Amino acid sequence: MNRKTVFFITGKIILAEAAMLMLPLLVSLVYHDGMTSEFLIAAALAAVIGFLLTRLRPEDQTMYAHEGFAIVALAWIALSAIGALPFCISGYIPSYIDSLFEVVSGFTTTGSSILTQVEALPRSLLFWRSFTHWVGGMGVLVFVMAVIPLSDRRSMHIMRAEVPGPIVGKLTPKLQDSAKILYTLYLILSAIQFVLLICGGMGPFDSAIHVFGTAGTGGFSSHGESIAFYHSAYIEWVITIFMALFGVNFNLYYYLLLKNYSAVFKNEELRWYLGIMVTSAVAIAINIMPQTGGFFTSLRYSAFQVSTVMTTTGYATADFNLWPAFSKTILVTLMFIGASAGSTGGGLKVSRLLILAKSSKNEIRRMLHPRMVTAVTMDEKPIPESTVTGAFMYLALYVFLAVLSLLILSLDNFDLETTFTAMAACFNNIGPGLGVVGPTGNYSAFSDLSKIVLIFDMLLGRLEIFPLIFGLMLPSRRSITRALTRSGARK
Amino acid sequence: MRIIIVGNGKVGSTLAEQLSAEDHEITIIDQNQQNVDNLVNQLDVMGICGNGASYRVLLEAEVSQADLLIACTNQDEINLLCCLVARKLGAKHTIARVRNPEYSDQLVFMRDELGLSMSINPERAAASELFKVLKFPSAIKIETFSNNRVEMAELKLRKESKLCGVYLRDLHKLFKGRALICAVQRDTAVTIPDGNFMLQAGDKINVIAPAGDMLDFFSAFGAILPEAKNVIIIGGGRISFYLSRMLLENGAKVKIIDIDPRRCDQLARLLPRAMVICGDGTDQDLLDEEGLRDADAVVALTGVDEENIILSLYAQSRTEGKVLAKVNRPSLAAIAETTGLESIISPRALVANMIVRYVRAMHNSMGSNVETLHRLVGGQVEALEFRVSDSFPAMNIELKDLNLKPNILIASISREGKTIVPGGRDVIMKGDRVIVVTAHHSFDDLSEILR
């Protein structure tokens, strides 16, 4: 592995974070909340580390898949480690592990919090916490790629490692242009939502916080009661719809801009995504009608909750902990399904499940017709065999890691509902689960060990497992070959 | 520019690499998914899997927005159909690789009626390249500028050459004609030398000179080899056929060795004046028997790169003459050069160069002013020919006073049919054709050489 390149590009990304830290600094100056020095320290540290790393400019900047994975893994860990500093230094979250949990939850757009009193945080910290959602949603490296041209033509490996979904395609031949288009679309959608929220009577600061949370499908709010605080059907519907919009593959918006409507309407993933969402919302609305009274009130609550869970955002307008078991089960199922590939949402992704379902159907039919030749198709195009195996492998690893972290979490001796949904909510980047970690609760009761496990779960979920494993756990290629030759020599 | 390349074969991938390095937006179409994936992983290009001649696939590639479509699959008919469809869908220019002479001979018709901008026959291009080298056997490569009035030759300095140990500022004392050494490759490093540069044995030098003076330069310094008049060609493929025809027309004696009796028969009918030998070209006895020792030149053109390399190594050990080999894979070509083989021809690189040159010329009409482009020493240095337009800011200033970027050499100025190999006191005037040698890439205009 080309370690120098990995460090060099990670350094560039840390420099970008130093620049990002200027935003909350600005907020702090505007609201005079006395957090200036904390952000300055963090930004200065990021600038120094980034500067030192970029000094090691490597001669050979080629990147292969392994470097791509390693860069993404390392960059995300470094970003979180530095991003946690303002919380920790300010003393609002005294423990570093807790600060790290909070900021990883931000960057991975999970929205799980260990805070018991959100309102107690100064505004600049609230802003930074939510801003990490916005950047983490579309991808930090994609952002860096849009702004600075990465010198290597193989940087596709980075994009593939960071953008979620089984198949990652470019919109235009040039990667930088693609990254720019994605961020422009992202900005435009965010701006529209911002204006709509302001129209609904939300203050500009709160609007910004909630736009960040919605756009990144994160879920941090500036209020402990989340969106329920506003008691406004208009705001709830705006956020419901925008959460759903940010859970759609962004490539489709680009097709809309190009007036390529048929590509959008024929998109299977979009149809299934919307289908599942509407069906679940209606089913839950009927199920909870006795509690709320009136179909439309219950639809308002159920649509919001379905949208927030399926897109893995994690806002709340109702305490679904109190809902009937059927509704809760639907929500937990939606946690695993997740949003569309190429969106800002998490979870397994609708398209990956579609591939799995179609491939399973083919395999079952093959039991009856052993000589049948099949191919899995999406949008009327065949999917390469390797993508299908990749999806199965992802599922297997996903289950394996989920069970492993569940085992460790259970050491804290919470009830099964809490333990299971805490793992699911972090792994799928949702935020609130059920039981102790329900919409009105938080994660502060977990032990440090569990918090570290959950931090890893969030990163694994956001980066879709492989980058983190391949990038960090595997030794470099050279040491593998060295090990191989050594073992060969012994024989 | 937006360029679509159909067919990710040897030529397609080389083109994608070179053109994307020049900052064009490349979309590549190929039938083989694996193939496309690999390329997309290596280069910043977009890949589409499908048949490039089909309407749907071309639409997906947004052919209507494309400035250029290059069809280089291995089938002529597909290439032609692809260009035809693309043209109807709105592609501005199309280039097709057409091998079959029956098609390529009707280029005028195709250009007018089918809207094809250019057709390329890789084998014929390789043959004419080989032919050029055989005319100047001491050179490794010959390129021409300004309608053949200026030539550029690449040659390797042998130990016995008088140029070894000479400072370039003293070159004019040894050679009275007009010639300029514009790039030197020593081991793997390439320099654009100035007067304080000392030449050494083993250097590969690029010399630029007016056509007449090049011969003098060679007779003064080259280990002189006369024009090859007695050539052995091993392998009877299409390149051999084209090359033999050119050589025969030029009055040389040609011997073709091929193992396939049917092909030999065909060649014998097509080229009655050539001597066609049916036998195994890798058989050393046969080669000796057929007069390897007395040949002025041996050209290894079998279909297998490795065979060509081995064959030429053997030939080089037996004959004083020029030895040429066709090696297609770039990695092998690099290895072959380290073994001492100098003249290696790669049809795929040639075709790619021709197309890149065409793209540059097209770019011209869209704002750049490059007339000709040659890539030297493995693409590390470019020689560009510009026509000086009104917008050039440093007109009529003596060259020694120009503030040039580093690693740039003004190698020649052609004015009213005369060629000047410039010194510090010469000036650039409007309408001149100026050849610039540079280690920078992708210059589009002469003014970019200035700081």
pLDDT in tens, B297-328: 899 999 888 899 988 888 888 887 888 899 88
Q: What is the mean pLDDT of residues A214-224?
A: 89
> Is the CB of residue A223 less than 8 Å from the CB of residue A118?
yes
What kind and span of H or E run contains A287? helix A268-292
Q: List pLDDT tens digits, range A248-259.
A: 998 899 888 888
Strand, helix or coil at B96?
A: strand
Strand, helix or coil at A248?
A: coil
How distant, in Å, are the alpha carbons of B77, B211, B417 from that of B148? 34, 7, 11
Query: What pLDDT, on a 0 to 100 scale, did the predictor assign at position A487?
Result: 44
Query: What pLDDT, on a 0 to 100 scale, did the predictor assign at position B378?
Result: 65
Residue A476: pLDDT band with limits 50, 70, 90: low
A157 in reach of chain B (CB within 8 A): yes
Query: What pLDDT, on a 0 to 100 scale, did the predictor assign at position A458?
Result: 93
Tokens of B124: 């014929």
B451, exposed or middle or buried, with CB in 10 Å at 0-12, 13-18, 19+? exposed
Strand order in the sheet with B118-120: B46-49, B25-30, B2-6, B68-71, B93-97, B118-120
How distant, in Å, are the alpha carbons of A207, B399, B410 from that of B389? 57, 17, 16
Q: What is the mean pLDDT of residues B269-297?
A: 87
Radius of gyration, alpha carbons of chain B:
23
Asked whether residue B262 carries a pLDDT value surpassing 60, the answer given is yes
> Is the CB of residue A127 less than 8 Å from the CB of residue A442?
no
Q: Å from B66 to nearest chain A CA?
A: 12
Strand, helix or coil at B300?
A: strand
Q: List pLDDT tens digits, range B141-166.
A: 777 776 677 888 888 777 777 778 88
What kind and span of H or E run contains A49? helix A36-55
- Alpha-carbon span B409 to B180, nearest angstrom: 10
Tokens of B334: 């690099």
Per the model's pLDDT, the better-predicted residue between B430 and A483 turns out to be B430
C-beta atoms of A156 and B33 within 8 A:
no
CA torsion sign for A435, A437, A440, A441 is: positive
* Residues 6 or more apart whose Cβ sits within 8 Å of residue B360: B368, B370, B373
Asked whether residue B259 carries a pLDDT value surpassing 80, the answer given is yes
Closest chain B residue to the Cα of A255, Cα to Cα: B60
Q: What domains can be seen in chain B, in order of their start residue?
A: 2-120 (3.40.50.720), 126-221 (3.30.70.1450), 230-320 (3.40.50.720), 350-449 (3.30.70.1450)
B42 in reach of chain A (CB within 8 A): yes
CA-wise closest residue to B294 among B204, B362, B230, B366 = B230
**ipTM higher than threshold 0.90:** no
How does DSSP assign B60-94, residue by residue? HTTGGG-SEEEE--S-HHHHHHHHHHHHHHT-SEE
Chain A residues in contact with B37 (beta carbon < 8 A)? 384
C-beta atoms of B41 and A157 within 8 A:
yes
- Alpha-carbon span A427 to A90, nearest angstrom: 28
- Alpha-carbon span B154 to B377, nearest angstrom: 8
Q: List pLDDT tens digits, range A3-19.
A: 788 888 888 889 989 99
How distant, in Å, are the alpha carbons of A57, A325, A478 from that of A482? 26, 55, 6
User: From the CB of residue B360, how many other CB atoms can be counted at a distance below 10 Å?
Assistant: 22
Query: What pLDDT, on a 0 to 100 scale, did the predictor assign at position A272?
Result: 94
The DSSP letter of residue A294 is S
> Is the CB of residue B402 less than 8 Å from the CB of residue B433?
no
> Is the CB of residue B352 less than 8 Å from the CB of residue B129?
no
A366 in reach of chain B (CB within 8 A): no
Q: List pLDDT tens digits, range A410-437.
A: 999 999 989 999 999 999 998 888 888 8
| Residue A391 amino acid letter | A
Mean pLDDT of chain B, nearest integer: 83
Asked whether residue A406 carries a pLDDT value surpassing 90, the answer given is yes
Residue A243: pLDDT band with limits 50, 70, 90: very high
C-beta atoms of B41 and A156 within 8 A:
yes
Q: What is the mean pLDDT of residues B415-439?
A: 82
Q: List pLDDT tens digits, range B92-151.
A: 889 888 888 777 677 777 777 778 888 888 888 888 888 888 877 777 777 777 667 788
3-state helix, strand, coil in chain B (%, to 5): 35, 25, 35
The DSSP letter of residue A60 is -
Helical axes B261-270 vs B238-249, angle rounded to 10°: 30
Query: What pLDDT, on a 0 to 100 scale, did the predictor assign at position A486?
Result: 47
Nearest neighbour of A156 by CB, restricted to B25, B26, B40 = B40
Asked whether residue A489 carries a pLDDT value surpassing 90, the answer given is no
Paired sense of beta strands B180-186 and B141-145, if any: unpaired
How distant, in Å, are the alpha carbons of A117, A354, A360, A479 from that of A368? 59, 22, 13, 47
Q: List pLDDT tens digits, range B383-419.
A: 888 878 777 787 888 888 888 888 888 888 888 778 8
Phi, psi of B416 (to 5 degrees): 50, 50
C-beta atoms of B41 and A173 within 8 A:
no
- Alpha-carbon span B358 to B370, nearest angstrom: 10
- pLDDT > 70 fraction of chain B, expressed in percent and rounded: 96
Asked whether residue A44 carries a pLDDT value surpassing 60, the answer given is yes
Asked whether residue A482 carries a pLDDT value surpassing 60, the answer given is no
Q: List pLDDT tens digits, range A159-199.
A: 777 777 777 777 888 888 888 888 899 999 999 999 999 99
Chain A residues in contact with B20 (beta carbon < 8 A)? 153, 173
Per DSSP, helices labelled H in B136-260 are 171-174, 211-221, 238-249
Q: What is the mean pLDDT of residues A203-210?
A: 92
CA-wise closest residue to A164 among A248, A101, A264 = A248
Q: Which regions of A188-280 does DSSP assign to beta strands (E)?
A: none
Mean pLDDT of chain A, nearest integer: 87
C-beta atoms of A153 and B26 within 8 A:
no
Q: List pLDDT tens digits, range A86-109.
A: 999 888 888 999 999 999 999 999
Chain B residues in contact with A384 (beta carbon < 8 A)? 33-34, 37
- Alpha-carbon span A48 to A14, nearest angstrom: 9
Paired sense of beta strands B118-120 and B433-438, if any: unpaired
> Is the CB of residue B447 less than 8 Å from the CB of residue B431?
no
Q: Å from B442 to nearest chain A CA?
A: 16
B35 in reach of chain A (CB within 8 A): no
| Residue A143 amino acid letter | F
Query: What pLDDT, on a 0 to 100 scale, did the predictor assign at position A488?
Result: 42
Q: Which residue's structure tokens are 């007695």?
A: B230
Nearest neighbour of B20 by CB, restricted to A153, A172, A384 = A153
Asked whether residue B245 carries a pLDDT value surpassing 50, the answer given is yes
Asked whether residue A399 carries a pLDDT value surpassing 90, the answer given is yes
Query: What pLDDT, on a 0 to 100 scale, did the predictor assign at position A491?
Result: 34
Closest chain A residue to the Cα of B39, Cα to Cα: A154
Chain A residues in contact with B43 (beta carbon < 8 A)? 153-154
Nearest neighbour of A172 by CB, restricted to B21, B34, B46 = B46
> Is the CB of residue A202 less than 8 Å from the CB of residue A230?
yes
The DSSP letter of residue A472 is I
| Residue A167 amino acid letter | I
Q: What is the mean pLDDT of residues A462-484?
A: 65
> Is the CB of residue A14 less than 8 Å from the CB of residue A52?
no
- Alpha-carbon span B156 to B223, nearest angstrom: 10
> Is the CB of residue B76 less than 8 Å from the CB of residue B98?
yes
Phi, psi of B231 (to 5 degrees): -120, 135
Nearest neighbour of A154 by CB, restricted to B26, B37, B41 = B41
> Is the CB of residue A378 less than 8 Å from the CB of residue A354?
yes
Paired sense of beta strands B381-387 and B370-376, if any: antiparallel
C-beta atoms of A173 and B45 within 8 A:
yes
Query: What pLDDT, on a 0 to 100 scale, did the predictor assign at position B183?
Result: 85
Query: What pLDDT, on a 0 to 100 scale, did the predictor assign at position A245?
Result: 93
> Residues B422, B426, B429, B431: what is their CA dihedral angle, to the nearest 10 degrees?
-20
CA-wise closest residue to B426 among B435, B166, B198, B406 = B435
Closest chain B residue to the Cα of A167, Cα to Cα: B37
Phi, psi of B342 (to 5 degrees): -100, -50
- Alpha-carbon span A310 to B364, nearest angstrom: 53
Q: Å from B23 to nearest chain A CA?
A: 9
- Alpha-carbon span B434 to A273, nearest angstrom: 62
How distant, in Å, are the alpha carbons of A382, A411, B56, B83 from that of B51? 14, 57, 9, 13
How does DSSP assign B311-332, residue by residue? HHHHHHHH-SSEEEEE--SHHH
CA-wise closest residue to B183 among B12, B442, B383 = B383
